[in-house]
Amino acid sequence: MAKGKVYQPVIGLEVHLQSKTESKMFCPCPADYFGKEPNTQTCPTCLGLPGALPSINEKAIDHCIKLALALHCKINKETKFDRKNYFYPDLPKGYQISQYDQPIGYEGYLEIDIDGDARRIRITRVHQEEDTGKSIHEKDHTLLDFNKSGVPLIEVVSEPDFETVEEVIEYAKELRRTVRYLRISDADMEKGQMRFELNISLKEAGAKGLPDYKVEVKNIGSISVLEKVINSEIKRQSTILQKGKNPVQETRGLKNMSGETLSQRFKEGSSDYRYFPEPDLPPIEIDDAWIERVSEEIPELPGDKRKRFEKQYGLERDVIRNITVNRKRADWFEEAVKGASKEVAIEVGNWMIGDFKRLLNNSKLKVQKSSPKASQPMAGKLKPNYLVELVELHKSGKISGSVAKQVLEESFKTGKSPNEIVKKKGLEQVSDSEELEKVAQKVMRDNPKVVEEIKGGKEPAIQFLVGQVMRETRGKANPKVVEELLRKEFGL
Ligand SMILES: [Zn+2]
């Protein structure tokens, strides 16, 4: 390959997700290790002491089956654990218990939405393993914390189906939404609950088949860094290819947070891990009853919910994506618009991603926390049906748009219903011409210059006067009526 050629990335992704279980994968230690005093959530098993025996956490297997099913995978009815042997200080046993040739799930897919187009990314496998401990590197020494050692980890491996960075990012986000919908992982990247390994190479645009090399980048801890790494690798590898050379097949690590990578070691094949069946654990038989029980616990998944919201409520794509980002927000919306018309639902959706979201962000609350029990008003918080009330007050012309914003804020703060607030504060929109006429006259007297300009032909300045009337009436005036009045006044 040489200069001037156009290259296209070929990307595959491995995602590690910490499963949300009470105890660790193979011992009774608590899995909720984050922020705990180092080495306090450990036992002989997760410390890898000789003679300690592992036992299987069935809840974790449930979670793994659940994700595999949600990703349309086939389930291996006969499955087992294997030892993956390698040496690293944070791996006290000298091997990690993982799955080699009989993963729990295989041959699935995840559908992602790229600018409204559906794209299927094939999933090679979904398997269960355990997390390692943590090395803390200090100036001249390394400390080890084994609280994380043995926490259940699900690995989702994709086929090299990604052709753009956007696809990878959307896939990572959709996978995160999916595990959150399934409630099997919080996928909180700040706590290391979702991590990525990338394999990326380039081929000439339009060329068939896969490139003859593959670069792996390990230990990517966030979606934003993942995006940077992909962009930086595309740049690095295309520079090499344009010189007529081939990038080295290797594993690279993060050099810095801007996504640059550096060579770590030549890639080992799976033979280097000397996988063999874990002798201390029995094989697992996943029968139909088990699969059925787990599949009954799978809720409507984000992709299906988005499609339904579009059909049922006629919401715009961006509004839907925002509302369905988690189950609680979507439930909140559905609770709000129960029985309402499509028209009202669309307005409620707009409020949710607009002013309501702004209020939530400012108050650092999340929708679900604004009203944990949707049917029960919380002091100082907005009930879902209040948004419908607000939309109806606005639509019927009882309150103006700017008053609606004030009412929302008040309702959000006090938990009072919009109807109550409007009534108590006398915020009904004033459409009465006589009353508005008086205000309009006053505004014209106060702004003689503007009046002269309008008379001189500068018609758009009329909007300034409309604004002044709105201000005088604290947003209560019906702006349409005001504009009509003023136009009449100027004979326009
Ligand atoms: Zn333990």
Query: For the residues of 257-313, what is the DSSP string, one character each?
Result: TTS-EEEEEEPPPGGGGT-EE-TTS--EE--HHHHHHHHHT----HHHHHHHHHHHH
Mean pLDDT of 245-260: 88
Which pLDDT belongs to residue 315?
95
Judge whether residue 2 has pLDDT over 70.
no
Distance CA 388, CA 343 (A): 11
To the nearest whole number, what is the mean pLDDT of the chain?
91
Spacing, Cα 60 to ligand 1 middle (Å): 15
Which segment, 228-237, 359-368, 385-394, 431-440, is predicted with the most confidence on average?
228-237
Residues that place a CB less than 5 A from ion ligand 1: 27, 29, 43, 45-46
> How would you list the strands of the sheet with 95-98, edge to edge?
95-98, 82-85, 276-277
Which pLDDT belongs to residue 319?
96
Spacing, Cα 21 to ligand 1 middle (Å): 13
Judge whether residue 380 has pLDDT over 50.
no
pLDDT tens per residue across span 67-82: 999 999 999 999 999 9
Judge whether residue 140 has pLDDT over 50.
yes
Which segment, 67-76, 341-350, 362-371, 387-396, is predicted with the most confidence on average?
67-76
Which pLDDT belongs to residue 397?
81
Spacing, Cα 97 to ligand 1 middle (Å): 14
Judge whether residue 362 has pLDDT over 50.
yes
By mean pLDDT, which of 319-323, 337-341, 471-475 is the weakest? 471-475
Mean pLDDT of 377-394: 76
Which pLDDT belongs to residue 379?
28
| Sequence spans of domains, the chain | 7-294, 302-425, 433-490
Spacing, Cα 136 to ligand 1 middle (Å): 20
Spacing, Cα 351 to ligand 1 middle (Å): 48
pTM score, two decimals? 0.85
Judge whether residue 172 has pLDDT over 80.
yes
Which pLDDT belongs to residue 377?
34
**List of residues 6+ apart from 106 with CB closer than 8 A:** 73, 74, 76, 123, 124, 125, 126
Spacing, Cα 130 to ligand 1 middle (Å): 11
Spacing, Cα 146 to ligand 1 middle (Å): 9
User: Token pair for residue 331?
Assistant: 């439930």
CB atoms within 10 A of CB 485: 20
Spacing, Cα 54 to ligand 1 middle (Å): 9
Judge whether residue 378 has pLDDT over 50.
no
At the top level of CATH, the class of 433-490 is: mainly alpha
Judge whether residue 324 has pLDDT over 90.
yes
Spacing, Cα 46 to ligand 1 middle (Å): 4
Q: Provide the 3-class DSSP secondary structure of residue 158.
A: strand
Q: For the chain, what is the largest distance between any 2 Cα atoms, rounded to a whole number of angstroms?
A: 97
